[in-house]
Amino acid sequence: MSQFKLKDYILGDTITAIATFPSKSALGVVKISGKSSLPIISRIFKPAKNKNIKKVKTHTLHYGWIVEKSRIPACPAGRKNKKSNTNNLIDEVLVSVMRTPNSYTREDVVEVSSHGGTVVLNKILEIILEQGARLALPGEFTYRALVRGRIDLLQAEGVLGIVEAKSLEALELASSQLKGYNSQKIEKLKAGIKELFVHTESLINFPDEDRENLSVIQQKKIKKIREEIDKILQASSQAKAIREGMRCVICGKTNAGKSTLFNYILQEERAIVSKICGTTRDVIEENVNIRGVNLRICDTAGILKPEDSIAKKALEKSSKVFEEADLIILVLDASRPLNDDDFFLLEKSRNKNTIIVINKIDLFQRLDLKKASNISKVKIRMSALKNIGLKDLENAIYSKIYEVGIDRENLIFLNQYQHEILKKAKENISQLEEFSKNNYTIDFINLALKECLDNLGRLSGEVFCEEVLESIFSKFCIGK
């Protein structure tokens, strides 16, 4: 997480940043947001047609030059220097003006589109800073959009997802989150809880009324809400896999050809390959795109019976990624009979999403799969060395991802904190179901409902939760 804290986001300041990647490119954009945006631009922009930029309509585009007061000092002895009051032309630009409240931050926003290039963009930024704006912190524009109510926290997460999308799937997920579809889902859950909460409040406030526990209909409603939350929690791990890439781990005994396969999938000599047993020690991780799906693929050590401290460490590392994997590729060596290590890994991956690769099919076959009782997984025959079978493996990986079926209806990307918070909301509900079953007084049920509402509110940003906000905004880049 970066160093900044939410308290550094001072809302009254006018902020500025380079919004495009500063490199040699055709165009670059510098953004300004806040109440001084228009006064600042009016001092540094010379429109080609004579006009007062402070008075132009919202959502209009203006052609002209960014200028800077000449820095040549006035001549000594009182002689007038003609140049001292002139302007230096910096770049030919287009300035767009978006007035409050119809802008991203709901403040006055100005965007200067200049030519790309680090020097020119930094120069324009410097001039804007000299005029009294402050350099924006990461995610500060989006934070303003959040606090001014233009978007909620789940939508802010969508913005981040669009910027970070590594595949078309991830982009689709993020844009639907930005559109607010997911927010509506959470809102619906909240509305259901709120209705029950209001009911319990009235029971508490009017003690003369029959203080009976929740009705059967209300209990059914609660159950339904718990099931809805469960679906979102389950789908959120799919959303995570789509957004961050499925984590696919190659495992197998030493010398099975894992690193050779890893290189074959990546189509580059990434990992060291050798006939010495135990070549790979560290986990090596790379991104690869298979038919539009982003995959984080890991090569691991094959050592299962470590004899020294390095091998022990290697085993620890590979076991850890094995546990966290969304998909396992278990490599068997077709040229050797199954041994204890193979049986151990076959058993370990029994309840995991697994593809078995039978490697080295170019050699004399000594592998007898009949001895492996539980080998009902998808099997792909390959020779990683002779480049045979990659298409089959890619197809198998692709269908494995979709085999589980993506629950698009409930697909919401939640970061780790948000996931925990939604889990807490579910616990609140389970707890209140217990209360209701065991005839606790209505006050307990009321309290559990209140906590559940608060937790759901933290998800959308309605209830202030510094940890969640910082966990999201620390990932943003400057200028967004």
Ligand X SMILES: Nc1nc2c(ncn2[C@@H]2O[C@H](COP(=O)(O)OP(=O)(O)OP(=O)(O)O)[C@@H](O)[C@H]2O)c(=O)[nH]1
Which tokens in the block code for residue 99? 């007035």
CB 175 within 8 A of CB 151: no
Query: Amino acid identity, residue 219?
Result: Q
CB within 8 Å of 63: residues ≥ 6 apart: 47, 48, 49, 92, 93, 94, 95
Which tokens in the block code for residue 1? 């997480």
Cα(135)–Cα(112) distance, integer angstroms: 15
| The entry of ligand X, Mg ion, none that residue 256 binds, CB within 5 to 8 Å by partner kind | ligand X
Contact mark string toward ligand X, 280..299, x via CB under 6 A = x-------------------
Of 36 and 259, which CB lies nearer to Mg ion in the complex structure?
Answer: 259
Minimum distance from residue 418 beta carbon to ligand X (Å): 38
Helix (H) or strand (E) holding 73: none
Stretch that binds ligand X, among 3-11, 65-73, 157-165, 360-368 (CB under 6 A): 360-368
| Count of residues near Mg ion by CB under 5 A | 4
Q: Around 163, how many Cα atoms within 13 Å sit in the side-chain half-sphere? A: 18
Distance from the first to the final alpha carbon of the chain: 17
Asked if 259 is part of the footprint of Mg ion (rule: CB under 5 A), the reply reads yes
Cα(235)–Cα(217) distance, integer angstroms: 27
Single out the residue of 98, 137, 193, 273 in contact with ligand X (rule: CB under 6 A).
273
Of 153 and 265, which CB lies nearer to ligand X in the complex structure?
Answer: 265
Minimum distance from residue 379 beta carbon to Mg ion (Å): 21
Helix (H) or strand (E) holding 35: none
Tell me which residue of 329, 309, 323 sits closest to 256, measured CA to CA: 329
Contact mark string toward ligand X, 381..410, x via CB under 6 A = --xxx-------------------------
Minimum distance from residue 302 beta carbon to Mg ion (Å): 6
Distance of CA 222 to the CA centre of its chain: 31
Of 178 and 301, which CB lies nearer to ligand X in the complex structure?
Answer: 301
Cα(281)–Cα(300) distance, integer angstroms: 7
Of 131 and 254, which CB lies nearer to ligand X in the complex structure?
Answer: 254
Distance of CA 239 to the CA centre of its chain: 9
298-337: which residues touch ligand X (CB under 6 A)? Answer: 301-302
Stretch that binds Mg ion, among 80-88, 250-258, 303-311, 425-433 (CB under 5 A): 250-258
CB 280 within 8 A of CB 259: yes
Distance of CA 226 to the CA centre of its chain: 25
159 in helix, strand or coil?
Answer: helix
| Count of residues near ligand X by CB under 6 A | 24
Single out the residue of 138, 161, 252, 479 in contact with ligand X (rule: CB under 6 A).
252
Asked if 359 is part of the footprint of ligand X (rule: CB under 6 A), the reply reads yes
Stretch that binds ligand X, among 110-118, 183-191, 379-387, 429-437 (CB under 6 A): 379-387
CB 430 within 8 A of CB 225: no
Single out the residue of 102, 237, 274, 287 in contact with ligand X (rule: CB under 6 A).
274
Contact mark string toward Mg ion, 277..296, x via CB under 5 A = --xx----------------
The CA-based angle 390-393-395, given to 5 degrees, is 110
| The entry of ligand X, Mg ion, none that residue 277 binds, CB within 5 to 8 Å by partner kind | ligand X
Stretch that binds ligand X, among 97-105, 166-174, 359-367, 470-478 (CB under 6 A): 359-367
| The entry of ligand X, Mg ion, none that residue 252 binds, CB within 5 to 8 Å by partner kind | ligand X
Single out the residue of 260, 294, 318, 460 in contact with ligand X (rule: CB under 6 A).
260
Q: Around 58, how many Cα atoms within 13 Å sit in the side-chain half-sphere? A: 11
Q: What is the contact surface with Mg ion in residues (CB under 5 A)?
A: 258-259, 279-280
Q: What is the contact surface with ligand X in residues (CB under 6 A)?
A: 252, 254-260, 273-275, 277-280, 301-302, 359-360, 362-363, 383-385
